[in-house]
Amino acid sequence: MVLLVGPPGAGKSTFCHQVALQSLAVDKPIIYVTTKYGSSDAERALKERGLREVELGLLSFVDAYNETVGVSVPDRPDTAYADCNDLSSIDIAISKLQKRIGKKDILLVFDSLTSPYLFNGSELLRFMRQTLSRFAAKGNAVLACVDEGCGKSEDLVAMMSLSDGAIKIRVEEDKRLLNVLKHPKMEPKKIEVPVTTGPPRVISYHFERDYLKQELELFMRGANVVLRTEVGDFVNIAWRDLILWSGVFWDPKRFPRMMYELTKYSEGPAAFSEMSSLVPWRMKFLIKFMPKSFSEVKNMRKIMKIMLTRFRPEEFKMGIFEYLEDFSKTDEHYLKIQESYECWGLENTGTSLGFMRPALIAGVLEGFEGWKGLKRDWNAVETKCIGLGDPYCEFKLVPGEITELDASLEKDSSVIEKVHDRLIEHILGFMLHRKTLTKRPTLGNDVHIHEVQHVTVAPIVNEKLQMVFRMGGARVGKMLGEHLLESGLREEEAVKLVVDLMEHCKVGKTTLDETIRMRENCERFGVKTEEPSCFFTTGFLNGFFSTVSNQHIKEIRCIAMGDPYCEWEFR
């Protein structure tokens, strides 16, 4: 049994694909376990790397992804299905395929242990001893990979000690470095290989033209413009935070950076160009008299005055903003935020929490300057945060690189676990004891749906984020289900409390009967996609119902596809 360890994006899956292809070339049977993508995705990746037709029974899959996140896929004769929530289901699926193959010298590729670890914690160590080591001891081989930094360091050390071999992998510029720490047939050594990448697969989407018009009108006229007629346009901060931080928990090293870049891009020059034909004449008139560059304090003061008075962030309950003119200087500007929706309720958790709103403002500055013919890359980073114990939040805006930005966007898993525990504590306090969810003194506990959608639109254009949102939702749904059952509630009582939570948070208008229906779901309201795309909601519901009633769900209708409501059926 060999363990491959490295940060997300280091190329562990690529390594697994290459080993599988070389093994198939010499007719070694493969059982390929997938936990962060489906069996069809694994087969497609292998074909892209040269897989040809193989003998029947030579390549089999254990798909422990699709059932975990509630994605419906057609049955495949070469695939056994399992659930990352239930390690015994993976054990049973492996044993079933092993029996079907009927001989030794099988290679089990496990890509990856990260997902079942994040669902089951140190229970995974027992699974490695009882399932993977047992499989290898019967004359077979195991190649498993795990994300470095995904959990407790002592658990990773234990995983490596349980393995016969351990290889650490990382990427530097255009090469991949493999450090063989131990191996049953090789002395410790370091290997360099070139890096090759392919284009990511995305689900195409667009905002409806009418919705874009509404958004522009929203920021010209204020929050009195109604988007969701049944539920209203404000969503509880706790639900928005649950979506975001479930994703950060799943991938603390890459997720914040991806969300930062996508948020900035969504408000930058490309977005300005797309929306230019929809901009009302009075806004174009206003832009005409804006300065070309916002480098100088006097010019930044002008744009901030327009943004803070015309776009009214307090009305949308984003926070209480103040441009710190006295502390700013040319090409270095500071913005103070009190009661920031990104950070409230997560005080003293040991990390800076606000990276979406700073990224959005940096994107807006890029967009305005680009409209005036000046192309510059603005960036923003928090310099103070209530998450770090400060009395308010503050961030710095710079037209160029910020050296401390990368460090602020890479989160430590132990700190993120603390953030996550605080969120779960708040939500369970409401569900079990009707305690108030994150109440701000002035702005209350809601934020406009626009701020929620800056989070929920991102995974549509990024396949890696789709997995993160699905798995993050499934994990937190499972956690809430477990806590509710442990508190002594019956299944029907736990279900009622979850529906009440979503109603209270104004997620959408939810009804539960033979199916689950939700009108005006905040995750996808106003967005059009080619296939069902409620990644977090589906993962959350699947994780919850698989825990409390041993039922899985799949999304069969989605408002993003033009349906009147989102709907999930039980299976």
User: Which 8-state DSSP code applies to residue 149?
Assistant: T
Please report, for residues 134, 180, 354, 356, 464, the alpha-carbon distance to residue 340 in angstroms, rounded to integers and kept in the order given: 52, 46, 8, 11, 28
556-570 pLDDT per residue, tens: 999 999 999 999 999
Q: Are 305 and 322 in contact (CB under 8 A)?
A: no
Calculated CA dihedral for residues 303, 304, 306, 310, nearest 10 degrees: 150
Q: What is the mean pLDDT of residues 370-386?
A: 93
Give residue 207's pLDDT band: very low, low, confident or very high (50, 70, 90).
low
- Transcribe 466-514 into DSSP letters: HHHHHHHHHHHHHHHHHHHHHTT--HHHHHHHHHHHHHHTTS-EEEESS
Residues 6+ apart with CB under 8 A from 142: 1, 2, 107, 108, 110, 132, 135, 136
Burial of 234 (0-12, 13-18, 19+ CB in 10 A): buried
Q: What is the mean pLDDT of residues 202-229?
A: 62
Q: Is the pLDDT of residue 201 over 60?
A: no
Q: Are 142 and 112 in contact (CB under 8 A)?
A: no
Q: What is the mean pLDDT of residues 264-287?
A: 68
Tell me what pLDDT residue 284 has. Answer: 67
Tell me what pLDDT residue 25 has. Answer: 87
Tell me what pLDDT residue 558 has. Answer: 95
Q: Are 234 and 332 in contact (CB under 8 A)?
A: no
Tell me what pLDDT residue 229 has. Answer: 92
Q: Is the pLDDT of residue 206 over 80?
A: no
Residue 389 is inside which H or E element, if any?
A: none
- Transcribe 243-288 into DSSP letters: HHHHHHHH-TTTHHHHHHHHHHHHTSHHHHHHHGGGS-HHHHHHHH
Query: From CA 4, how far away is CA 111, in angstroms rounded?
Result: 10
Ordered by where they begin, the domains of the chain are 2-194 (3.40.50.300)
Q: Are 487 and 432 in contact (CB under 8 A)?
A: yes
User: Which 8-state DSSP code applies to residue 435?
Assistant: P
Q: How many C-alpha atoms does 422 have within 13 Å on its Cβ side?
A: 20
Please report, rounded to a whole number, the percentage of residues in the chain having pLDDT higher than 70: 91
Give residue 219's pLDDT band: very low, low, confident or very high (50, 70, 90).
low
Give the residue among 244, 4, 243, 38 at the shortest CA–CA distance from 114: 4
Q: Is the pLDDT of residue 205 over 60?
A: no
Give residue 202's pLDDT band: very low, low, confident or very high (50, 70, 90).
very low
Q: What is the mean pLDDT of residues 311-316?
A: 84
Cα angle vertex 253, ends 249, 257, to 5°? Answer: 100
Fill in the amino acid letter for 171: V
Tell me what pLDDT residue 286 has. Answer: 67
Q: What is the mean pLDDT of residues 378-397?
A: 97
Tell me what pLDDT residue 221 has. Answer: 62
395-416 pLDDT per residue, tens: 999 999 999 999 999 998 889 9
Q: Is the pLDDT of residue 204 over 50?
A: no
Q: What is the mean pLDDT of residues 59-73?
A: 93
Q: Are 232 and 448 in contact (CB under 8 A)?
A: no
Tell me what pLDDT residue 280 has. Answer: 63
Q: What is the mean pLDDT of residues 288-295?
A: 86
Task: Give the pairing of strands 234-236 and 446-448.
Answer: antiparallel
Residue 22 is inside which H or E element, if any?
A: helix 12-25
Residues 192-206 as b or e (16 or more Cβ within 10 Å = b):
eeeeeeeeeeebebe
Q: Which carries the bigger pLDDT value, residue 74 or residue 276?
A: 74
Q: Is the pLDDT of residue 266 over 80?
A: no
Task: Give the pairing of strands 30-34 and 107-111.
Answer: parallel
Cα angle vertex 343, ends 337, 345, to 5°? Answer: 120
- Transcribe 161-204 into DSSP letters: HHSSEEEEEEEETTEEEEEEEE-TTS-SEEEEEE----PPP---
Please report, rounded to a whole number, the percentage of residues in the chain having pLDDT higher than 90: 69
70-102 pLDDT per residue, tens: 988 888 999 999 999 999 999 999 999 999 999
Average pLDDT along the chain: 90
CA-CA-CA-CA torsion sign (447, 451, 455, 456): positive
Q: Which carries the bigger pLDDT value, residue 50 or residue 277?
A: 50
Give residue 9's pLDDT band: very low, low, confident or very high (50, 70, 90).
confident
Residue 219's CB is within 10 A of a number of other CB atoms, namely 17
